[in-house]
Structure 1
Amino acid sequence: MRHLLPTPADLHLHSTFSDGTESPTEVVQRAAEAGVRTLALTDHDTVAGWEEAAVAARANGLALVSGIELSAKHRGRSVHVLAYLPDPSSPALARLMARVRDDRVGRAERIAELIALDFPVTWADVLAQRAGDATVGRPHIADALIAAGVVAMSEEAFARILHPAGPYYVGHDAPDPGEVVRAIDGAGGVSVIAHPAGRGMLPDDVIRSLIEDGLGGFELGHRENTPAGVAHLERIVTAHDLIVTGSSDYHGAAGKPNRPGEHTTAPDMLERIVRAARGTEPVLA
């Protein structure tokens, strides 16, 4: 049986199971303190934080929409696709997540090896920054650089040493967005393109193809989106009756400046996600 979920709803938050700085329990607590009533934990290419988040959500009186932020790439540009309430045991979805996680670890190690040629940071130092068995990524390298005194903060690490145009950058493998959207749909989830109107937008012909593949909607409420980009995508949303979400993309108090609840999802859109999903039920308070 489906239930109306309480709002405000923030449907994009990260924990230490990917590139956040706080545990799922702490993320839920920060969301509750900000007045959020329904949240989605959407760690990158993993569902490892779902169980802890569910326990914390019940303890704090919040509803939880279990999610994932899946990595994709179109013509060399990263595209992130949010998956809401999918069945994580779906073979196609599980294979995609494993593929990207494995590549992310190898990529991080290659970047660390290059950085170690010029700075006092080793792969062991990077591994020491992750929590538990979280997948290692560039944020952990940034933390290692901070711990070594090379930079003062994460933003400096990404602007100076981890910048894509810099000498230490290593590209990564990722499936195309269509493959990701189809895998989410096959797992009974609802797919939403994250921050789609920010640094470069997908061409309209690609968007049309994704809609045919089962794309559910766009995250139009996000601090990285531009007004012009949002206006363009709103026209597509109206023409195809797509879902619109708003989210914080919270990475922890010590992570990005994003804060829980700074953008939220309208009640009717939240209900559309819950009604469309066939993979996993939301966790109720």
Structure 2
Amino acid sequence: MALGGNPIFNGKNFRGATQAPPVPQAPYGQQPYGQPYGQQPYAQGGGPQQQNMTNEQLQQMYTQPAAGPADTGRMTFDDVIVKTAACLGVLVAGAAVTLFVGQSLAMLLMVVGALGGFVLALVNTFKKQPSPALILTYAGLEGLFLGGLTRFLDALYPGVGLQAVIGTLSVFGVTLLLFKNGKVRATPKAMRFFMIATIGYAVFALVNMVLMLTGAVDSPFGLRSGVIIFGIPLGVFIGVLAIGLAAFSLIMDFTSIEAGVRSGAPQRFSWTAAFGLTVTLVWLYVEIIRLLAILRGDD
């Protein structure tokens, strides 16, 4: 897959601005393009405007730094950081809403956030051009979902919310450090394993959800807490695998962002990069807080 293999970045036109085409040359014997007819081309010393400039002005013009990526409308790492911070800020604001409403309303907002966030995640993933409004709306809905989920689980197992936040930030920081040092890369072989493992995990999650909705299993987390292997709930093994997959998804996000910056992607795609990071961080947080809840419930 292009740009690190993250499906969020697939199909996006991550192509930098190409060099401007050369000025067309007039056929031999004709007046150069852009030159008024009958007027002689300027000498090598420059046009009238340049000739009227002082030596100090000419020196300043020639010594000023070249235009950077931000000046030419290309994506930069700073753009991605700012956009990601905006998404996380909206997400935290959405999560805070669930802390100031009643328990029943918080659960309702959690369901609305989960369903709305899922729909907008699909829309933003398959949308060719990024929409800041839709991406920020997605972040807000996911904030409602995560806030309600955290409030519910933290009431059952006090402290898991804070532990999940610390765990998410820790995994993000370690993953970013390993990527910057070149210790971990999204190689084709690793990406193939990631896709196979992710599909297998998605199938398990779907089957587990169906069993829980139909009442086939009555454990709080379905098969995750209902199946015990060597005295350890199945959800612990599944949770560790899922956290590893989410961490590798961060590596693919970083790879995609790095490729976009290097190739001179248009600045608007910094929103796509921010959206990809937000999706992965939401996934990582959910897996960590669920794993912590399963471990606490097994005490």
TM-score using structure 2 length: 0.26
Please identify which structure carries the higher helix content.
Answer: 2
The structure, 1 or 2, with the larger RCO (C-alpha pairs under 8 Å, 6+ apart) is: 2
TM-score using structure 1 length: 0.27
Please identify which structure carries the higher strand content.
Answer: 1
The structure with the largest alpha-carbon Rg is: 2
